[in-house]
Structure 1
Amino acid sequence: MIKVVILGAGNVASHLIDILLPKTDTQLIQVYARDITKITHLKNHVSITNNIELLKEADIYIIAVSDNAIGTISSKIKTKGLVVHTSGSVSINSLNNSGRKGIFYLLQSFSKDKKVDFDTIPFCLEAENKDDLKTLETLALSIGKKIYFINSEQRKHLHVAAVFVNNFVNHLYTIGNDICSKYDVPFEVLYPLIKETALKIQSLSPEDAQTGPAKRNDTKTIKNHLDLLTNKQQEIYTILTESIINGKKL
């Protein structure tokens, strides 16, 4: 049985805690958080601490904190277990513990109050040796199904790609919602379109799935759209339109 300690109390840590607590093939033995009040609700279910020097002996220590804190937190872990972090953009070399190191990156957007299906989440794993990589795979398969072996160089580019397809797209939803709200149109009218676009790229390449006035180079419609937008919205619309028109010239 793999014994796990989680360090952190944010979105990723909270979801990992929830999925690991009831497991019988792995054992969550402790949760650490600098602010103990953020994890006191767990005290009847698992050992908790805000003293990193009191970490229990475990097989894997999962650091799920902000990117800037990974180096500092890892440097304070003195046990012999495998220390991993969950960041998409931080190298394995940023772990400052003296022992074994690895990556346990879950490629998904996490919000504390929104449940996720771990069976659909890609687990991107990295370790310094095959035995540790196998241990991470075993842990990942105990809570999910999609396993990828991704090194730090690949992962930092994957993370940038994820920002484009997730964070930037969500910001575009915000702009669309603002436009709808301004003219008293329910944003939910766009839900089927959003869903169809997301489903379409599972069978077509994003380039082949592209539609709209920029794809057609419909200059009249593009001009009409620009006339309806604020200055900042016009800037974003123009950049994206030119990018679509240029296609693979990016």
Structure 2
Amino acid sequence: MVKVCIIGSGNVAQHLIAAFEAAEATELVQVFARDKSKVAHLVPEEKITSDLKNLVDADLYIISVTDGAIKEVSADLPFSGKCVAHTSGSVSIDVIDGKNRSAVFYPLQTFTKNKPVNFKEIPICIEAMHETDYALLTQAASAISGVVQTIDSSQRKALHVAAVFVCNFVNHLYAIGNDICRENQLDFDLLKPLIAETANKIRLLSPQQAQTGPAARNDTTTIDTHLAFLHDAQRKTLYETLTQSIIQHGKKL
């Protein structure tokens, strides 16, 4: 059984803590949190420490903190020769202090506190500096997820950029759509079935096959009508940019 220690108490850390605490094939031996109250609802008090010097022995230490803090935290670990992984999508494996065996344990999902997720469906992307650690990482990842993928730091960076496009940018477009509805006394809930169907379609079709709308049809009349409706300069620019991107992308196919 893999003994796991989680270092961190933010969104990703809390979801990992819950997943490992529930897993049968691993043992969550300890959680490090500077503020113990942030994780007190997830694990017994005796499993929480706020002092890195009090970390107990584990097979795998997972650092789940902000990207800018990974290097400092890994350098402050009071041991050497252990497998230490971070959970960042954009930070290189090399950021882990060399006194330990560097690794990456990246769950590809958007996490929000108090919003449960099904970890079994979340891809976990792993990378190890030492070939022998892949078995350890795979065992730990497989205990909480049904999708484990080995990728290198360069691929992970590309995946993270892609994730920003399909998640963060798309959610921002939801926010703009919500604002437009509110400004025109419309209920945003009217768009939710459309949002759900758009997401569901790519389970069966490629994004290119699923693309619809005036840009995909090169319907200039509708496009011009929409642009005339948009009085906000930033929204107009965004509409034009995305429209041209869809048109150009269609020409490449």
Q: Shift of the alpha carbon at 1:135?
A: 0.7
State whether residues 4 and 60 of structure 1, in contact with CA within 8 Å, keep that contact through their aligned partners in structure 2.
yes
State whether residues 5 and 28 of structure 2, in contact with CA within 8 Å, keep that contact through their aligned partners in structure 1.
yes
State, as a whole percentage, how many aligned pairs show the same letter: 50
* Map 1:71-110 → 2, pairs under 5 A: 71-79=71-79, 80-110=81-111
| 1:50 matched to 2:33 | no
Instruction: Identify the residue that residue 182 of structure 2 maps to in structure 1.
Output: 181
Q: Shift of the alpha carbon at 1:154?
A: 0.3
Q: Shift of the alpha carbon at 1:92?
A: 0.1
Q: Shift of the alpha carbon at 1:115?
A: 0.4
Q: Shift of the alpha carbon at 1:76?
A: 1.2
Query: Residue 234 of structure 1 aligns to which amino acid in structure 2?
Result: K
Could you tell which deviates more after superposition, 191-200 or 148-157?
191-200
State whether residues 30 and 48 of structure 1, in contact with CA within 8 Å, keep that contact through their aligned partners in structure 2.
yes
**Secondary structure class of the residue paired with 1:165:** helix
- Distance in 1, Cα, partners of 2:178 & 2:199: 18
- Distance in 2, Cα, partners of 1:97 & 1:187: 50
1:73-102: per-residue Cα shift (whole Å, max 9, x none)?
011113232100000000000111412111
Give the direction of change, closer, same or farther, for the CA distance of 1:243–1:42 in structure 2 (3 Å limit): closer
State whether residues 214 and 222 of structure 1, in contact with CA within 8 Å, keep that contact through their aligned partners in structure 2.
yes
Give the direction of change, closer, same or farther, for the CA distance of 1:46–1:223 in structure 2 (3 Å limit): farther
**Secondary structure class of the residue paired with 2:132:** helix
Query: Residue 131 of structure 2 aligns to which amino acid in structure 1?
Result: K
**Secondary structure class of the residue paired with 1:176:** helix
| 1:61 matched to 2:61 | yes
- Distance in 2, Cα, partners of 1:54 & 1:97: 21
Instruction: Identify the residue that residue 141 of structure 1 maps to in structure 2.
Output: 142
State whether residues 101 and 128 of structure 1, in contact with CA within 8 Å, keep that contact through their aligned partners in structure 2.
yes
Instruction: Identify the residue that residue 233 of structure 1 maps to in structure 2.
Output: 235
Query: Residue 153 of structure 1 aligns to which amino acid in structure 2?
Result: S
Query: Residue 231 of structure 1 aligns to which amino acid in structure 2?
Result: A
**Secondary structure class of the residue paired with 1:104:** strand
**Secondary structure class of the residue paired with 1:148:** strand
- Distance in 2, Cα, partners of 1:40 & 1:204: 43
State whether residues 52 and 78 of structure 2, in contact with CA within 8 Å, keep that contact through their aligned partners in structure 1.
no
Query: Residue 5 of structure 1 aligns to which amino acid in structure 2?
Result: C
State whether residues 14 and 39 of structure 2, in contact with CA within 8 Å, keep that contact through their aligned partners in structure 1.
no
Could you tell which deviates more after superposition, 35-44 or 16-25?
35-44
Give the direction of change, closer, same or farther, for the CA distance of 1:42–1:188 in structure 2 (3 Å limit): closer
Give the direction of change, closer, same or farther, for the CA distance of 1:30–1:100 in structure 2 (3 Å limit): same
State whether residues 60 and 84 of structure 2, in contact with CA within 8 Å, keep that contact through their aligned partners in structure 1.
yes
**Secondary structure class of the residue paired with 2:22:** coil
Could you tell which deviates more after superposition, 146-155 or 240-249?
240-249
- Distance in 2, Cα, partners of 1:22 & 1:120: 15
**Structure 1: gaps of 5 or more residues:** none
- Distance in 2, Cα, partners of 1:84 & 1:120: 21
Give the direction of change, closer, same or farther, for the CA distance of 1:197–1:149 in structure 2 (3 Å limit): same
Query: Residue 10 of structure 1 aligns to which amino acid in structure 2?
Result: G
| 1:150 matched to 2:118 | no
**Structure 2: gaps of 5 or more residues:** none
- Distance in 2, Cα, partners of 1:46 & 1:248: 58
- Distance in 2, Cα, partners of 1:149 & 1:35: 33
TM-score calculated relative to the size of structure 2: 0.94
Give the direction of change, closer, same or farther, for the CA distance of 1:139–1:179 in structure 2 (3 Å limit): same
Q: Shift of the alpha carbon at 1:197?
A: 1.1
**Count, aligned residues:** 250
- Distance in 2, Cα, partners of 1:189 & 1:43: 40
